[in-house]
Amino acid sequence: MSGNQARLMAISNITNGSAMDVCTPKLMKDLWACDVFDFAKMEQSLSKNAFKAMKKTVQTGAPLEPATADVVAAAMKDWAHSKGAKFFSHIFYPMTNATAEKHDGFIITNSDGHAISEFTGSLLIKGEPDGSSFPNGSLRMTNAARGYTAWDPTSPAYIMHTPNGATLMIPSVFMSWTGEALDKKIPLLRSNSAMNKAAQKVLSLMGETEIATLNSSCGAEQEYFLVDENFAAARPDLLLAGRTLFGAAPAKGQQFDDHYFGAIPERVQVYMQDVENTLYRLGIPAKTHHNEVAPGQFEIAPYYEAANVAADHQQLLMTVLKITAKKHGFLCLLHEKPFAGVNGSGKHVNWSVGNSTQGNLLDPGCTPEKNLNFLLFCGAVIRGVHKYGPLLRAVIASAANDHRLGANEAPPAILSVYLGEQLEKVFMDIKDGNLKPTVNGGLMDLGLSQILHFERDPGDRNRTSPFAFTGNRFEFRAVGSSQSVSGPLVAMNTMLADSLDWIAEKLDAELSSGADQTTGVINVLKALMEEHGNAVFGGDGYATEWHEKAVSERGLKNIPTTADALPAFLDESVKDLFSSTGVLTPVELESRYEVYSEQYILSIEVEANLVVDIATTSIYPAAMSYLSELTGSIAGASSIGIELDTSVAKKVASDANAMMAAVNKLSAALESHDFPSVEAHMQYCANDIRSLMDEVRLYADTLETQVSDELWPLPKYAEMLFIK
């Protein structure tokens, strides 16, 4: 089947299809966490002591006795068998944004050759995958392969079903034989405990006597696109790069603002409900779903959970979105910018910290100016964003996210913090040494008796900010849709730990020199705002004036590409931050830099090779077929004395030539391999390779608007975005 036939067949297949049936949903009480080995199931199957020990570990991070692990393993195995599982797997989170799993059977044979089932504490505690076959940033040589996975009891085990069986999945950490973190979970757990340690110091100085372990929480809004798989199969760029490398803008995109929150197409809603049924079984609290801004774009957002569990659940959610899409004949695109010219996809990470004794420490209450704990924690965040802005940019850096940041409703690549009117005033008043009572939002009165009045929020929302306060948490909006939330959470928890340590030191000095608590807190925050208040910005983050002012007057950094962003990992202040808090050793940090740089270079090179391939083998032949049709008609007509317009033929010929000239330049550019440093190689990809890819695309997209629709091989934007 030729390329254009595949495209036309795809349209016919889709228009003749209908939404898939999904089995009748069960009641929530039968569905919720039925595939999770949660506290309720542990309580039923463990001895009282073992259950108490497990609960303590989950809630406070206290170590677990090996004997308890044996008891838990046995109970887990029985439960997994009752769900039909014959296999188990440690699931871990290497430095790839994806998950990794190796499945082992519970089966062993006894001396009589009978199959029996075994699962001991030591099998639960430790697994052994090959450490050198995962990204490791030179921490492991090819011949030094040993790596370990180790059970994380704080994230519940669960069952994954396929039509043919079930597997017990055990969330785990992943480290090298030499003990270095090779994953995204170890630093997240460490960052939580660093934050807890520093927060305890501040809260004790604030006179709190009972302080439970503090934890960070996360609720991540996941945006995604759905494209019919018939189209996707005819787009090698979507299959291999996750985004369209070619595609002329359709006449209609998102300019009518009519897709956002619009009626959800039935086929998509059936898909969403199927996704949610699976998520509920897995104990993932999916809360919201809706159409997003771009046609073909949607969002799912879970309720917040403890950050470590939320991070594991976020990975699982991405997996479920993809697997379920296949079942429904879709390809789910998690790429940050699958289609040029319309909205990209983010994963806005809502983050807060708190505990069971002081509650949510980022909740200001009605009178934030009097809530001293809140002011200190919020101030600590402001300091963190200012001091470690480049690190926050680095942890969300990827080739894919570079296309999104600063374009179509996505936040800019300058890290500032939005507080909302009321809070910004409180912090500015503190800076000016003149703290006044605040006013709340007041009642919303539309003058319509049938519409009940309600309390308005004290501040507006600002979606142009990369880091926005949204009432009782911060929303890190710059995070990309395909990324693991762990990197951003680690950066936020660690910068908070550092700022809280700084606050504790200053506050201690204030109190020791005789200041009362309120004066002490205000003095510390005044100093903090004088040094770090420049990061606070409540205006339009998209405005060019802000981009200029942020750099020239505020001293903030505008970091447009990953090539510019990743070197922040090598910065001395970042190294100090991670080693002083115990989150990452300098060696671990450097290995991360190496891994992420390599991933950036590889993604650009893969895309560039695809550009060369698709332009040469699909687009150029289509242009030539059309040219030959045109020239044939022109010559034929001329032979009977009719002179046809030749402008289209000439334009197609010149664009096809120009495209191939750019393809040749790009191919030659890809031959360069000698670079003095990784940084130089990244800059080469960011500048030379990417601009040549853009040049090829420019001519290819113009050809799409000239060449006969019947001959065009690649499904077009309008088809992929609108036909469902």
Ligand X SMILES: NC(=O)CC[C@H](N)C(=O)O
| Nearest-angstrom CA–CA distance, 118 and 65 | 20
**215-228/286-291 β-pairing:** unpaired
CB of 467 to ligand X, least distance (A): 12
Residue with smaller CB distance to ligand X, 338 or 533: 338
CB of 359 to ligand X, least distance (A): 28
CB of 338 to ligand X, least distance (A): 12
Within 10 A of 263 (CB to CB), how many other CB atoms are there? Answer: 8
Residue with smaller CB distance to ligand X, 293 or 396: 293
| Nearest-angstrom CA–CA distance, 668 and 612 | 11
Based on the number of CB atoms within 10 Å of its own CB, is 28 exposed (0-12), middle (13-18) or buried (19 or more)?
A: exposed
Residue with smaller CB distance to ligand X, 7 or 403: 403
Residue with smaller CB distance to ligand X, 346 or 459: 346
What are residue 317's phi and psi, to 5 degrees? -60, -45
CB of 348 to ligand X, least distance (A): 6
Identity (one letter) of the amino acid at 183?
A: D
286: Cα within 13 Å, side-chain hemisphere? 26
CB of 389 to ligand X, least distance (A): 18
Measuring CA to CA, which residue among 358, 9, 400 is closest to residue 209? 358
CB of 409 to ligand X, least distance (A): 4
| Nearest-angstrom CA–CA distance, 78 and 394 | 44
Residue with smaller CB distance to ligand X, 139 or 410: 410
Quickly list DSSP for 657-715.
Answer: HHHHHHHHHHHHHHT----SSHHHHHHHIIIIIHHHHHHHHHHHHHHHTTS-GGG--SP
Residue with smaller CB distance to ligand X, 457 or 688: 457
Within 10 A of 471 (CB to CB), how many other CB atoms are there? Answer: 14
Residue with smaller CB distance to ligand X, 174 or 298: 298
CB of 284 to ligand X, least distance (A): 21
Residue 542 in 3-state DSSP?
coil
- C-alpha distances (whole Å) from 236 to each of 142, 239, 553, 614, 715 are 32, 5, 46, 8, 11
Q: Are 160 and 191 in contact (CB under 8 A)?
A: no
Measuring CA to CA, which residue among 157, 133, 718, 219 is closest to residue 472? 219
Give, for 12, the enclosing helix (H) or strand (E). Answer: helix 3-15
CB of 165 to ligand X, least distance (A): 38
| Nearest-angstrom CA–CA distance, 282 and 276 | 10
- C-alpha distances (whole Å) from 622 to each of 3, 339, 692, 716 are 9, 22, 21, 14
CB of 718 to ligand X, least distance (A): 20
Residue with smaller CB distance to ligand X, 187 or 466: 466
Contact residues for ligand X, defined by CB under 6 A: 223, 293, 343-346, 404, 409-410, 463, 477
CB of 626 to ligand X, least distance (A): 36
Residue with smaller CB distance to ligand X, 68 or 481: 481
Residue with smaller CB distance to ligand X, 345 or 494: 345
CB of 412 to ligand X, least distance (A): 11
Q: Are 596 and 566 in contact (CB under 8 A)?
A: yes
CB of 166 to ligand X, least distance (A): 36
**Closest residue to ligand X, based on beta-carbon distance:** 346
CB of 337 to ligand X, least distance (A): 9
Task: Pinpoint the alpha helices (H) of 396-476.
Answer: 399-404, 421-432
CB of 410 to ligand X, least distance (A): 4
The CA R_g of the chain, rounded to the nearest whole Å, is: 28
Identity (one letter) of the amino acid at 134?
A: F
CB of 344 to ligand X, least distance (A): 5
Residue with smaller CB distance to ligand X, 76 or 410: 410
Residue with smaller CB distance to ligand X, 376 or 468: 468
| Nearest-angstrom CA–CA distance, 71 and 75 | 6
Residue 178, C-beta contacts closer than 8 angstroms, at least 6 positions apart: 139
Q: Are 174 and 183 in contact (CB under 8 A)?
A: yes
Residue 522, C-beta contacts closer than 8 angstroms, at least 6 positions apart: 430, 435
Q: Are 438 and 425 in contact (CB under 8 A)?
A: yes
Residue with smaller CB distance to ligand X, 279 or 293: 293
Residue with smaller CB distance to ligand X, 223 or 429: 223
Residue with smaller CB distance to ligand X, 404 or 425: 404
